[in-house]
């Protein structure tokens, strides 16, 4: 039988990030110097000097050597599915929301299995804002619309999907678009629709599990811990006075160039691996980072923690 590899599309930066998080690390202040959940006091580990970073590199190199990874993720296209030369792919769950699906024309050929890590990781919070122009004659109507949109499944269906049996059909509660909608489907992603997405009301495609919405919500809160709670456990004050904040900002200005140089080197390392080039080893990366004055940046992080101690 012909052997089939996954030929996965791997983003190197995200791979290393997930591997580190899966092995007990998290970012207390900076991804260059992660901390560990089992630390008893604020501690910063330079990422390239950790055992796990080297392990991630060797694992990724081994997978690439076996042909399990596409050589250049930047040329990845959804058409790899239709060509039949992609058996499976790991993607961020958020990409499978109703407005970010790349498999809309391949509902019968691929299925999605939600996966998430069992290790503890930080709860990431991001805010979305809705701007109302000062020239709006009836700004209150904007808020009325938002309230209407999130009030019921019927309202959400109408705004996000269109008119039932004209723009879309429902089969056992799952959605399928008409040909006309499919042609314009990707344009919608640029028109602000993701801003209004509400997982309570989003309809699933046929290839998604019946309980996908609940799996998505559960995964978002599984084994997560807010950074503020972790800071409190370590005896760090999440709130700072203006005076202390100014002192930190002043010290950061002295080392910001060092951090920028370190990030450039690290991302260049990731970029080369993205292109299938593993010539730069973690040891070589460490030598490059040593030349930036990295120890001065570590001194700043320890100063940051000292000022936050309660």
Q: Which domain holds residue 167?
A: 127-207
The answer to the question of residue 29 being in a domain is: no
**Least confident window among 105-109, 176-180, 222-226, 253-257:** 105-109
Q: Looking at the structure, tell me whether residues 188 and 131 fall in a common domain.
A: yes
Tokens at residue 190, please?
């640029």
pLDDT digits (tens, 9 = 90+) for 188-212: 544 556 678 787 888 877 777 778 7
Exposure string of 63-88, with b = 16+ CB inside 10 Å and e = fewer, is bbeeeebbeebeebeeeebeeeebee
The answer, yes or no, to whether residue 3 has pLDDT greater than 50, is: no
Tokens at residue 2, please?
């012909």
The answer to the question of residue 153 being in a domain is: yes
The answer to the question of residue 11 being in a domain is: no
The answer to the question of residue 199 being in a domain is: yes
Q: How far is residue 266's CA from residue 123's CA, in Å, rounded to a whole number?
A: 24
In the prediction, which pLDDT does 79 show? 52
Q: Looking at the structure, tell me whether residues 251 and 192 fall in a common domain.
A: no
Neighbouring residues of 173: CB distance < 8 A, sequence distance ≥ 6: 203, 204
pLDDT digits (tens, 9 = 90+) for 21-31: 989 999 988 99
CB 120 within 8 A of CB 221: no
- Write the DSSP assignment of 116-129 as a string of letters: --SS-EE-------
Q: Where are the beta strands (DSSP E) in 17-89?
A: 25-26, 35-36
In the prediction, which pLDDT does 242 show? 93
Q: Looking at the structure, tell me whether residues 194 and 251 fall in a common domain.
A: no
Q: Looking at the structure, tell me whether residues 196 and 254 fall in a common domain.
A: no
The answer to the question of residue 101 being in a domain is: no
Q: Looking at the structure, tell me whether residues 244 and 298 fall in a common domain.
A: yes
Please name which of 273, 307, 265, 240 lies closest in space to residue 46, comparing C-alpha atoms: 265
The answer, yes or no, to whether residue 162 has pLDDT greater than 60, is: yes
Q: Looking at the structure, tell me whether residues 145 and 187 fall in a common domain.
A: yes
Band of residue 108 on the pLDDT scale cut at 50, 70, 90: low
Instruction: Look up the pTM and report it.
Output: 0.70
CB 278 within 8 A of CB 271: no
In the prediction, which pLDDT does 98 show? 44
Q: Looking at the structure, tell me whether residues 149 and 191 fall in a common domain.
A: yes
Tokens at residue 245, please?
């904040």
The answer to the question of residue 257 being in a domain is: yes
Q: How far is residue 126's CA from residue 168's CA, in Å, rounded to a whole number?
A: 31
Our count of domains for the chain comes to 2
pLDDT digits (tens, 9 = 90+) for 247-285: 999 999 999 999 999 999 999 999 999 888 999 999 999
- CA 160: distance to chain centroid? 24
The answer to the question of residue 229 being in a domain is: no
Greater confidence (108 vs 218) lies with: 218
Q: Looking at the structure, tell me whether residues 183 and 133 fall in a common domain.
A: yes
The answer to the question of residue 216 being in a domain is: no
Q: How far is residue 30's CA from residue 172's CA, in Å, rounded to a whole number?
A: 46
Q: Which of 207, 226, 260 is the last residue of a domain?
A: 207
Q: How far is residue 32's CA from residue 263's CA, in Å, rounded to a whole number?
A: 8
Q: Looking at the structure, tell me whether residues 271 and 202 fall in a common domain.
A: no
Strand partners, 236: 309
Q: What integer is the mean pLDDT of 129-149?
A: 90
**Half-sphere exposure of 132 toward its Cβ, with a 13 Å CA cutoff?**
11
Helix (H) or strand (E) holding 296: helix 294-308
Q: How far is residue 222's CA from residue 215's CA, in Å, rounded to a whole number?
A: 10
Q: Looking at the structure, tell me whether residues 197 and 247 fall in a common domain.
A: no
Q: Looking at the structure, tell me whether residues 134 and 181 fall in a common domain.
A: yes
User: CA-CA distances (angstroms) from residue 259 to 173, 227, 256, 282?
Assistant: 50, 22, 5, 18
Band of residue 160 on the pLDDT scale cut at 50, 70, 90: confident
């Amino acid at each position: 039988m012909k052997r089939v590899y996954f030929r996965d599309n791997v983003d190197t930066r995200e791979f290393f990030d997930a591997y580190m998080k899966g092995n007990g690390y998290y970012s207390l202040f900076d991804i260059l110097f992660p901390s560990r959940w089992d630390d008893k006091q604020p501690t910063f580990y330079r990422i390239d000097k950790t055992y796990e970073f080297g392990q991630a590199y060797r694992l990724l190199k081994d997978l690439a050597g076996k042909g399990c990874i596409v050589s250049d993720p930047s040329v990845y296209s959804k058409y790899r599915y239709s060509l039949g030369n992609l058996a499976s792919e790991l993607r961020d769950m958020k990409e499978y929301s109703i407005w970010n699906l790349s498999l809309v024309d391949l509902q019968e050929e691929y299925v999605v299995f939600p996966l998430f890590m069992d290790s503890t990781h930080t709860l990431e919070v991001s805010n979305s804002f809705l701007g109302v122009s000062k020239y709006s004659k009836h700004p209150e109507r904007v808020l009325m619309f938002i309230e209407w949109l999130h009030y019921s499944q019927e309202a959400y269906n109408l705004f996000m999907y269109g008119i039932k049996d004209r723009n879309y059909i429902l089969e056992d509660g799952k959605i399928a678009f008409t040909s006309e909608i499919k042609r314009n489907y990707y344009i919608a992603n640029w028109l602000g629709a993701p801003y209004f997405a509400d997982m309570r009301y989003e309809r699933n495609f046929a290839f998604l599990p019946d309980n996908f919405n609940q799996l998505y919500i559960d995964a978002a809160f599984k084994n997560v811990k807010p950074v503020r709670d972790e800071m409190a456990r370590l005896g760090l004050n999440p709130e700072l006075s203006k005076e202390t904040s100014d002192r930190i900002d002043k010290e950061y200005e002295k080392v910001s160039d060092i951090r920028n140089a370190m990030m450039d080197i690290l991302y260049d390392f990731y970029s080369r691996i993205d292109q299938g080039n593993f010539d730069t080893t973690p040891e070589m990366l460490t030598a490059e980072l040593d030349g930036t004055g990295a120890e001065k940046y570590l001194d700043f992080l320890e100063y940051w923690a000292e000022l936050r101690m309660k």
